[in-house]
Structure 1
Amino acid sequence: MIGIGVAGLLSGCEEKSKPAVVVNPDKPDVVVIGSEIEGIYLARAAADEGLSVVILDPREKQGGQLIQGEMLYLDEPFDEKGKSLLQGRVKELFDEYKDGKIRKPEQFQAYYNSLAEGIPVESGITITDIERTNGTESGSRSIQSVTYKTKSGEMKTKTAKYWVENTDFTALTSKLGAARIPGVETVFNSPGRDYMASSIMLKFKGVDWKVFQKEVGGMSKAERESVYGGNTYVNGTFAYGLGNIGAAYKPSRDNFFLRGLNVVNMLDGEALINALLVFNVDPANPESVRQAIEQGRQESDLVVQHLRQKLPGWEKAEVNGYPEYLYIRDYDRYETQYILQASDVLSGRMHDDNVSIAGYAIDLQGTRHSPWGTSTGKPDKYGMPLRSFLLKGYSNVIVAGKNVGASAVAYGSARIQPNTSLAGEVIGIILGQIGSEKELASLTAEDMSELHAYIKKKYDIKLAGVKAVNKLEGYTEEELAKINAGSMSIKKK
């Protein structure tokens, strides 16, 4: 462990001998609140590194966006040269996905189950009380225990060294008095708090993908863009663009909007589309979520009629069931020790405490006030620091996944699942390595250098010595401020 064994481990490359993990259900090392997959990567890595981990899930069913929301159109981050940035366990998921071995919902479920295997979980809990103490010399507070009500109404209390916010509605961090990071209302000039739209995934069967691919893909670029919209592309696995198809659809309710289509070939004539936006969903309000799902199912039945008329190979398409939950892109996030800015993302900034090498365009999906959203630019690659996953003012609270500390603009890229999945896995590894000898929030650059070397050696995850293209070279301070505010996009070269 840091300060004792990591240097020796690296010199000989021996693996530490760890005793079998014995989970104390009342006093685990790590408690993960929520079951989104990004935090499950953290839980799995921490458990594999020898820590006792427990999951407390406020939702009654596990898996969130990926499993219950069936957001199975996986976005892969690439650098400027088209090289994939995937590393770690999430790369294994994408490899199986691209090979067609994981494409059906039950295959994703099996993958998810393999990550969570052996980690105790209680679903349907409600946090009722949080006991906090003044912790370190720096004045940071810490969570000592959390009391919650089980689904059956029993009251329980857990103590732990670390707590992880891993829900899509800030079930833990919303109760800690932290400052909210301003949201997309600052970009779109909304009248109050605003969030990128949620989505309900559209599931279809009876699609002839070969005809779809041949007829759309066989057009000239100019003809394809004229008919279907700019940036339209179809291959054997997925399709994207098709903005004219979305624009031509008139939804039955004003809280729905069909944007450009992200379509994945689910094989055997099945397809799934990420495109139907739902505005003004409050993920912390069960009735708001229930109503959006019910209305989304009704809208799905209308969308399929539109697609039959507009897309070749879709003439016999039918609705193939409905997801049980939504894809929640955006909700309240709270200040972390470091808040990523768009200038960090686009300049390719790296950090001593990198826990992920990330990529993806700054993609702000629409709101009710600006349904088409906006994009500020595409980075080469950039580092995500540990500090952006540590809640400000607390020594033992970690935020996972879509709770990452990023400005409203930077969040358009940082939110992408592979970026924060890698971060979750790396943080779990670090927790196992430092054990009880150091606090996560007090790790030094020297500590992180040792940890990076260990993680590269054992897990083949490279976090240090990575160079990126600076897309903001030559920009003035005034221009950088506008980019960070979302009022200016980067210039195309």
Structure 2
Amino acid sequence: MRLLSTRAQLVIALAALLILVSAFALGKLWMQQKMDPSNSATSSTHQEPHSIATPSQQPEASPIESANNIPTEHTDIVVIGSELEGLYLARAAADEGLKVKILDPRTAFGGQILQSQMLFLDETRDDHGKLLVQGRAKELFDGFRNAKIRKLTEFQTYMNKLIKDIPLESGIDINEVEQTNTPDNLHKITSIIYTDQQREKKKITASYYVDNSDYAALISRLNAKRLPGLEAFYGQKNIEYMSAGMMMKFKHVDWKKFNMVFNQLKQEEKTKQFGGGYVNDSFAIGLSGMTKSYHPSNDRVFLRGLNAVHQRDGEVLINALLVYTVDPSNPASIQEAVTLGNKETPLILNHFRKALPGWEHAELGELPSYPYIREYNHYEMDYVLKPSDLLSGGMFWDNVSIGGYPLDLQGTSANKWGIEMGRPDKYGMPLRSFLLKNYDNVIAAGKNVGSSAIAYGSTRIQPNTSLAAESIGIILGQLRGKQRLRDVQPEEMAKLQQYIADRYHIKLTGITGMNKISGWNEEEIRKLDSGEITYPNYVHKRKKTAHPK
């Protein structure tokens, strides 16, 4: 009996050991699956983070870490990125009583304005010269025009006012976007897990998520459809965006002499010496004959006509130096653009010293550490604006902005000077062009506007998308989570637009834009939208055909 008992005990012990080993293996497998977002039904994205300013290596998660012990915060709106346009949405929503937080993938605040130092502002006006800039942006654009906001510190002061009391975390990396589906089969973001600048992992939930970056830092991680870009228009095989810009800053310029000597010349002399353009006490525009005579040291850089502003005290800022084939989502490509641009700027200064009066003693100012990004991928929104919408002066029941500006396609390596595809009078921009298609709670801001690559030449301009963002922020504040943005009906939208007009003096309705394609047939409009028709040339040819001499 003792022997039998010993054997039984041995069998029982071995069985217990096998059970323990199996449990340990199953537990380890379960933990690995839990820690791997690609195995989660609520997560459709797991990519290496696009940290543009200072890419960093992500530490691997500890085996004992789980989503349950990540610090979690809830807010009404999360804004990804600190570009100017989306800050208007953040400010408006906060003023309406919503809780807003800004998470910036860049290590420094201010995007195109402060980091790229793109301090030359393009106003929007209609065909009669009437200013179209409305909302909070008007203070900035008026200040720029009147020489009160020209220098970097003055822009910093203005932008700091926009984010006053709004929490901001810079230098974050998005690790994971958790998603679910709504009853009506829309995707919905439930949370974002990110790593902060101190390399601590955090989680944030919100009612709405806004992509306010210049490289679709959030939208590019989602199940979003990329629309054809300029490569389709130019017949290129590879994706290429509008050229990036490297801002050039100079000091010790005798602007008074520059202005006086230029304007003493007769028009034919201006054309012969500078290629035309104009100079006044604040701005120098064009002078493309002078810039054409400059020969770049590298095929990837190009000096186009000037957009120059006198910042006061002999300091001048110029938007004219282009860098081609820059990928805004690639940190190495960004750094390469900075190197190319800043290497070329001293050579351009030598050219200006010889070619421009008053520039004989000019010196280099501060060189920027980040390029001005004009364009990245275009993603499908609930409504995608087309050239025909703009040139027809189209207005929408859900207008959130009144836009204007030529369809200005800046150069690419395939067409270094770029091309203008038409000049609208003014046009509406609907709320639907800022709502990501098939997503319940994702809003596009700024450069992420829902627009074809050709229409984007106009829609991208800051006053257009700044006003849209501000209007959307106000609407979110009025809805207060009781209703989804995309469920707002025309009669409700009319009340919201009236509130915006009464409270914020922003006019979004009762506006008529000139229809510059009146009488065009469906085939002509199709060709206009596809880029087969270049409006400035075609409309002239069309008029001649209709009224032969």
Deviation at 1:479, TM superposition (A): 2.0
For 1:13, the equivalent position in structure 2 comes to none
Post-superposition Cα deviations, 1:91-136, rounded to whole Å, max 9, x if no partner, equal 0101111221111100001101010111101111111111111125
For 1:205, the equivalent position in structure 2 comes to 251
Tell me, in whole angstroms, the C-alpha distance in 2 between the residues paired with 1:291 and 1:380. 38
For 2:261, the equivalent position in structure 1 comes to 215
2:323/2:340 contact within 8 Å kept? no
Select which of 211, 216, 225 maps to 1:170: 216
For 2:51, the equivalent position in structure 1 comes to none
Tell me, in whole angstroms, the C-alpha distance in 1 between the residues paired with 2:96 and 2:190. 23
Instruction: Give the TM-score taking structure 2 as reference length.
Output: 0.84
1:378 aligns with 2:423: yes
1:396/1:441 contact within 8 Å kept? no
For 2:173, the equivalent position in structure 1 comes to 126
For 1:89, the equivalent position in structure 2 comes to 136
Select which of 307, 315, 320 maps to 2:360: 315
For 1:411, the equivalent position in structure 2 comes to 456
For 2:88, the equivalent position in structure 1 comes to 41
Output the amino acid matched with 1:372. W
Deviation at 1:475, TM superposition (A): 2.0
| Secondary structure of 1:377's aligned partner | coil
1:392 aligns with 2:392: no
Deviation at 1:442, TM superposition (A): 1.0
| Secondary structure of 1:161's aligned partner | strand
Output the amino acid matched with 1:394. Y
Counterparts in 2 of 1:68-217, with a 5 A limit? 68-137=115-184, 139-217=185-263
Select which of 427, 432, 444 maps to 2:477: 432
Counting aligned pairs with the same residue, the percent is: 52
1:78/1:84 contact within 8 Å kept? yes
Counterparts in 2 of 1:240-389, with a 5 A limit? 240-389=285-434
Tell me, in whole angstroms, the C-alpha distance in 1 between the residues paired with 2:196 and 2:285. 42
Post-superposition Cα deviations, 1:325-357, rounded to whole Å, max 9, x if no partner, equal 110001112110000000001110000000100
| Secondary structure of 2:304's aligned partner | strand
1:186/1:485 contact within 8 Å kept? no
Counterparts in 2 of 1:452-467, with a 5 A limit? 452-467=497-512
| Secondary structure of 2:74's aligned partner | coil
Select which of 101, 108, 111 maps to 1:61: 108
Tell me, in whole angstroms, the C-alpha distance in 2 between the residues paired with 1:83 and 1:219. 30
2:391/2:422 contact within 8 Å kept? yes
Instruction: Give the TM-score taking structure 1 as reference length.
Output: 0.93
Output the amino acid matched with 1:41. Y
Which of structures 1 and 2 has the larger relative contact order (alpha carbons within 8 angstroms, sep 6+)? 1
Instruction: Judge which range, 351-360 or 177-186, deviates more.
Output: 177-186
The structure with more helix, counted as a fraction of residues: 2
Deviation at 1:167, TM superposition (A): 0.6
Tell me, in whole angstroms, the C-alpha distance in 2 between the residues paired with 1:466 and 1:151. 46
1:205/1:318 contact within 8 Å kept? yes
2:72/2:202 contact within 8 Å kept? no
Instruction: Judge which range, 316-325 or 457-466, deviates more.
Output: 316-325
Output the amino acid matched with 2:222. L
Q: 1:472 to 1:126 in 2, by over 3 A?
A: same
Output the amino acid matched with 2:84. I
Output the amino acid matched with 1:254. D
Output the amino acid matched with 2:446. G
Tell me, in whole angstroms, the C-alpha distance in 2 between the residues paired with 1:221 and 1:31. 53
Post-superposition Cα deviations, 1:191-222, rounded to whole Å, max 9, x if no partner, equal 21111000000000111111211222333333
Deviation at 1:290, TM superposition (A): 1.5
Tell me, in whole angstroms, the C-alpha distance in 2 between the residues paired with 1:185 and 1:438. 39
| Secondary structure of 2:191's aligned partner | strand
Q: Which runs of 5+ in 2 are unaligned?
A: 1-70, 544-549
User: Number of aligned pairs?
Assistant: 468
| C-alpha RMSD over aligned residues | 1.3
1:136/1:395 contact within 8 Å kept? no
Output the amino acid matched with 2:273. V
Question: Which structure has the larger Rg?
Answer: 2
Post-superposition Cα deviations, 1:360-381, rounded to whole Å, max 9, x if no partner, equal 0000000011101100111100
Deviation at 1:188, TM superposition (A): 1.5
Output the amino acid matched with 2:383. Y
Deviation at 1:287, TM superposition (A): 1.7
